[in-house]
Structure 1
């Protein structure tokens, strides 16, 4: 079974370290080590601040998969404040990305990886992005990656004889749903943690989901000039 390894290493202001190691099954992108708390805390129950767009019921799912997967991260950063400085290394087989940043920014990047693989039906669409995870991505990089991922998914649909969405309508709908989910989970986190860090890290991540439908047209229009070589076919004729 082929796996993809990722590791987040946090060097904290008090001299301690927090290390999160992940193994993703290459084909399914399932998290082998889910970093869940055991036992799960009460705030991870499905009914606790359940998302208004959640399709699950307690009879079929006692715990929110999103909350369950981030519970270990929340508990391990319960003593840290959002603005405190940390030094981070994000390690994959191919490269090491190091950055001095705020705890809020670092945990936000970590949550982005976990949430994409948490089993929530609204975030499962981001699994391909988790496979090619880019820590600390800005809004332009995120839109580039999300649009490329979505259009590639539509290409695969078209090869199977299905209707492809080249207008990115479905991608905008995905982000609107994720924004609703993130807002509800942030309410869980305010009740769960003594620190402002977990909720603020999620809010920072949610800024992308909230702004995506409004920024995508502008950013893609600005990116259009990058593709001028493709505006002529291989024979030099204008498309």
Structure 2
């Protein structure tokens, strides 16, 4: 999806309007704490599949006695839950509005728009693993291409590591591995939690974002070396190379969804 922006919107929008082919619209208001964390506006009780211990990510440090529900799952219930009856290939028009009233409007498959809600759930909900990735997404508009997203993330992490692409790559690979586990377990929650969505818009939104992350992991070496040259970091002394350890070895996403 190529954004048709009407000004540079912030990545973490306050409102999202999705217009469907039949003219109907879904309005999603995103409430936040002063820190920027998403506050799910829940009507009724949390769904059973949001329970913290149900399909909990192996690396999640949250204690059940203090946090009864998975922050990412609860966020998804209040946002992506509105897309339960829709298919992933529906061509929609989506407009994101940030806190300053700036907008960005795009048109494309619903799963691409849904992926921005998955980003919200994973990176801005209070998920302790996902929030580590949030700084890499700063200064991005809500809707970007996979290439723009990858280049932006690599640029951010290279700057953090003073241009040493080997250590930057190692950090990125570890983070992508953890994110992959989150996507897998969110999918397991949806499919095995007793309330599977009627259509495929929600699961395919998760799968779409996971595919973007896995593609970045596969292209990490080449992209880091390319961006190191483009940004002038290649003039720094080289350090000993270390194997990425992930590359193309991530398991097939849907192949890991067995209960």
The two structures have a TM-score, normalised by structure 1, of 0.78
Deviation at 1:146, TM superposition (A): 1.9
SS of residue in 2 equivalent to 1:168? helix
Matches within 5 A, 1:43-122: 43-92=49-98, 93=100, 95-122=102-129
Question: Given the superposition, is the C-alpha separation of residues 78 and 64 from structure 1 closer, same or farther in structure 2, using an over 3 Å criterion?
Answer: same
**Residue matched to 1:204:** 208
Match of 1:20 among 17, 28, 32: 28
Where does structure 2 lack aligned partners over 5 or more consecutive residues? 1-11, 237-259
- CA change 1:74–1:232 in 2 (3 A) is closer
User: Kindly tell me: are residues 110 and 129 of structure 1, through their superposed partners in 2, closer, same or farther at Cα, counting changes over 3 Å?
Assistant: farther
Residue by residue, what CA displacement relative to the aligned partner does 1:2-58 show, whole Å, maximum 9, x if unpaired?
A: xx75321100123221122335556x3323x43445311111001222223323342
The CA RMSD over aligned residues, in Å, is 2.8
Quick one: distance in 2 between partners of 1:6 and 1:204? 23
SS in 1 for 2:126: coil
Runs of 4+ in 1 over 6 A off after TM superposition: 230-233
Structure number with higher relative contact order (C-alpha < 8 Å, ≥ 6 residues apart): 2
Partner-residue secondary structure (3-state), 2:97: strand
- Larger displacement relative to structure 2 (118-127 or 140-149): 140-149
Work out whether residues 169 and 221 of structure 2, in 8 Å CA contact, stay in contact via their aligned partners in 1.
no
Whole-Å separation in 2 of the counterparts to 1:11 and 1:133? 23
**Inter-CA distance 115–232: structure 2 relative to 1 (3 Å threshold):** closer
Equivalent residues in 2 for 1:1-239, closer than 5 Å = 6-24=14-32, 28-31=35-38, 33-92=39-98, 93=100, 95-129=102-136, 131-154=138-161, 166-191=167-192, 192=195, 193-227=197-231
Instruction: Structure 1: give runs of 5+ residues left out of the alignment.
Output: 156-164, 234-239
| 8 Å contact kept, 2:137–2:153 | no
